[in-house]
């Protein structure tokens, strides 16, 4: 049985995790990060923020590649209505991890897919609940000093396990890492095959 190779995709993201995941899925990935500044968004609702950011990043790049499928995403962490993006420095990273310590929060990744040839686009999101075990202050500081999680929403990477933070998740693991694979695949297929 031959497996058809999926067509090329433009990834409007600087995230190495998203690139690796799409390559692992078998896509021929061309990376073209968007210049969109998330800080310019005034939205405070986590889902609406992530969807607006994903859409803006993808739209920006899709204009440059009218013959291609462009995909973009945005990941945020939310706890009790609080929106946690990327920490600006070590102190904020420690503060964020203290908020999440021993509790269950939600990771939201919004996804946009653009198919300019068929004048189709999709934006949606996936949510995963993540529970942190009870960490000591020393573990939090050690985690931040080893992993410098300034490039990650909520100041942690579930995949950075030299100090394991997470005791359980409910939902898609890949969504937490920044790219919900099944969600993407379903909508990518829809948007590329639609007449
Ligand atoms: C919660 C969590 C986030 N992350 C990452 C995924 C995203 O890359 C990052 C959130 O930042 P994003 O703004 O979603 O993405 P990015 O800045 O890395 O890339 P771009 O804006 O160009 O698309 O946090 C993990 O890798 N593991 C985790 O457990």
Residue 3 forms part of a structural domain: no
Instruction: Tell me what pLDDT residue 6 has.
Output: 62
Which residues line the pocket of ligand 1, CB cutoff 6 A?
13-15, 17, 33, 57, 73-75, 77, 86, 107, 151-154, 156-159, 176-178
Catalytic-labelled residue, pool 74, 129, 151, 160: 74
What is the distance between the alpha carbons of residues 49 and 184, in angstroms, rounded to a whole number? 19
Residue 2 forms part of a structural domain: no
Instruction: Look at the chain and report how many structural domains it folds into.
Output: 1
Instruction: Tell me what pLDDT residue 101 has.
Output: 98
pLDDT (tens, 9 = 90+) of the chain, 195 residues, equals: 556 766 799 999 999 999 999 999 999 999 999 999 988 999 999 999 999 999 999 998 999 999 999 999 999 999 999 999 999 999 999 999 999 999 999 999 999 999 999 999 999 999 999 999 999 999 999 999 999 999 999 999 999 999 999 999 999 999 999 999 999 999 999 999 867
What is the distance between the alpha carbons of residues 99 and 146, in angstroms, rounded to a whole number? 19
Instruction: Tell me what pLDDT residue 3 has.
Output: 63
β-pair partners for 126 = 109
Residue 126 forms part of a structural domain: yes
Residue nearest to ligand 1 atom 29, measured at CA: 157
In which domain, by residue range, is 140 found?
Answer: 8-193
What ipTM was assigned to the predicted interfaces of this complex? 0.95
Residue 1 forms part of a structural domain: no
Residue 17 forms part of a structural domain: yes
Q: Cβ contacts of residue 79 below 8 Å, gap of 6+?
A: 99, 100, 103, 105, 106
53 alpha carbon, distance to own chain's centre: 11
Handedness of CA 95, 162, 165, 182 (dihedral sign): positive
CA atoms within 13 A on the CB side of 61: 28
What is the distance between the alpha carbons of residues 105 and 179, in angstroms, rounded to a whole number? 18
Mutate which of 21, 40, 75 to test ligand 1's pocket (most atoms within 8 Å of Cβ)?
Answer: 75
CATH code, 25: 3.90.950.10
Instruction: Tell me what pLDDT residue 193 has.
Output: 85
Q: Is 160 marked active-site?
A: no
């Amino acid at each position: 049985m031959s497996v058809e190779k999926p067509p090329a995709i433009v990834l409007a993201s600087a995230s190495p995790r998203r690139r690796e995941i799409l390559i692992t899925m078998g896509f021929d990935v061309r990376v073209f990060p968007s210049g969109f500044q998330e800080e310019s968004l005034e939205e405070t609702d986590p889902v609406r923020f992530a969807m607006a950011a994903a859409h803006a990043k993808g739209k920006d790049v899709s204009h440059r590649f009218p013959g291609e499928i462009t995909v973009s995403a945005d990941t945020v962490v939310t706890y009790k209505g609080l929106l946690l993006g990327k920490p600006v420095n070590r102190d904020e990273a420690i503060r964020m991890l203290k908020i999440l310590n021993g509790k269950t929060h939600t990771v939201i990744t919004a996804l946009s897919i653009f198919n300019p040839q068929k004048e189709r686009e999709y934006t949606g999101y996936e949510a995963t609940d993540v529970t942190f075990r009870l960490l000591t202050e020393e573990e939090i500081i050690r985690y931040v000093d080893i992993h410098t999680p300034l490039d990650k929403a909520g100041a942690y990477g579930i995949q950075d396990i030299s100090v394991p933070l997470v005791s359980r998740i409910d939902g898609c693991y890949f969504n937490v890492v920044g790219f919900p694979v099944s969600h993407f695949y379903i909508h990518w297929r829809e948007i590329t095959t639609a007449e």
